[in-house]
Amino acid sequence: DAGVTQSPTHLIKTRGQQVTLRCSPKSGHDTVSWYQQALGQGPQFIFQYYEEEERQRGNFPDRFSGHQFPNYSSELNVNALLLGDSALYLCASSLTSGGPGTGELFFGEGSRLTVL
């Protein structure tokens, strides 16, 4: 049983560029959440997708957007990259249970983004 998979694992971009990160949830899970983990910090919630719609959103600007596909996989897009966007981006899947903080989250290994 495949767990949560993310791609790419590492990538380097320059300021002002755009990036797309991808996530496939654990088999049987229908909800995907995205987190940003800066170096030395805990993960911060970006947003959650369920039924192809954004259901919850953390304190992130509109430059951060996402999408969920009918097969429950998801993308995170970040436009107009800033140096401060350099971080590990984590995807987590779960079964719908009322919100991203109510049940167990299954995390992928992350996509490490470096912005130069």
Partner 1 sequence: AQSVTQLDSHVSVSEGTPVLLRCNYSSSYSPSLFWYVQHPNKGLQLLLKYTSAATLVKGINGFEAEFKKSETSFHLTKPSAHMSDAAEYFCVVSDASGGSYIPTFGRGTSLIVHP
27: contact with partner 1 by CB under 8 A: no
- Residue 29 CA: distances (Å) to CA of 21, 62, 73, 97: 19, 26, 10, 11
Tokens matching residue 74:
């998801």
Which residue, 56 or 79, is less far from partner 1 as judged by CB? 56
Which residue, 64 or 81, is less far from partner 1 as judged by CB? 64
CB neighbourhood size of 113 (10 A)? 21
66: contact with partner 1 by CB under 8 A: no
Residue 56 CA to residue 22 CA, distance in Å, equals: 19
28: contact with partner 1 by CB under 8 A: no
18: contact with partner 1 by CB under 8 A: no
60: contact with partner 1 by CB under 8 A: no
